Amino acid sequence: MQLEIPLGNGKFTWSQEGASIARSVLDRFFINEACDDEFENTRASRQARLFSDHFPILVEYKEHGLTGVLKAGQVMYLVTS
């Protein structure tokens, strides 16, 4: 079974401003139950966009007490106290 990770900090992942406003959810994130059990508190949040009409998305999770960030296919671990 696939579980969708809810998007925080906004509803849309793409928008175009102009004479008419267009908005859409182009990016969605799914994990399976095994990943949901292994990685605690997985969440996705929309970040501020700078130059594109797409909003960058940050996916964060916890694994064995460490906080990880998944961004552009890279995984980084940050030790938190």
Q: What is the pLDDT of residues 7-34, one digit of tens each?
A: 888 889 889 888 889 999 888 888 888 8
Q: Which secondary structure element, helix H or strand E, spans residue 23, and what is its range?
A: strand 22-24
- pTM, 2 dp: 0.65
Contact between residue 24 and residue 12 where contact means Cβ atoms under 8 Å apart: yes
Average model confidence (pLDDT) across the chain: 78
Tokens of 7: 């998007």
Label residue 78 by pLDDT band (50, 70, 90). very low
